[in-house]
Amino acid sequence: MVSRLRGEAPELADALPPPERFRWDTSWLKFSGANLGQASVAEGQWFVEGKGNREQRGYFFALLQDTAEILWTNGTEVKLGLQPWAEFQRARASGDLRPLPRLTPFGQVLNETVTVLPASVRSSADYARTPLKKPGIRLMPCGESVSRRI
């Protein structure tokens, strides 16, 4: 640009690489839209990909109908990436991408805990009150002397 301002003739270069090195994505030539029925069921749900330390969660925020791509976010509308619909279906079918189970409401967890806890405490208290009985050992009441011959 500077050489053009000075009045010099810039060196021309090809805009595209030679045909043997030029690559393009042919998937757009056979584009097919997404199944809106299946997409609407998955939209607004959490999914997890990978296992263990490599596990990554994503929120299916929206299906972009014009490109048949899924917009993944972190749940607070920060974009994680885009994924083609066909790739999403393949990952679901192979089990690489699976939905997270529905969250259990806190009230339900609290109710179950309050229901189970008294029985658990009662059984622990009953266990603590029972004397230990071991085979070959006879428990003597307090105050009695025990004499043993060896």
Domains of the chain, residue spans: 44-100
pLDDT in tens, 45-101: 999 998 888 889 999 999 998 888 999 999 888 999 999 998 999 999 999 999 988
> Cα(64)–Cα(84) distance, rounded to whole angstroms?
9
Nearest to 73, CA basis, from 65, 82, 64: 82
Tell me phi and psi for residue 119, to 5 degrees.
-65, -40
> Cα(117)–Cα(105) distance, rounded to whole angstroms?
18
Tell me the average pLDDT across 31-52: 86
Q: Range with the lowest mean pLDDT among 96-105, 122-131, 137-146? A: 137-146
What confidence tier does 3 reach under pLDDT thresholds 50, 70, 90?
Answer: confident
Q: Report the predicted TM-score, pTM, of the whole model to 2 decimal places.
A: 0.53
> Cα(94)–Cα(119) distance, rounded to whole angstroms?
43
Residue with tokens 């584009």: 31
pLDDT at 9 over 90: no
Nearest to 32, CA basis, from 78, 108, 85: 85
> What are 99's two structure tokens?
């939905």
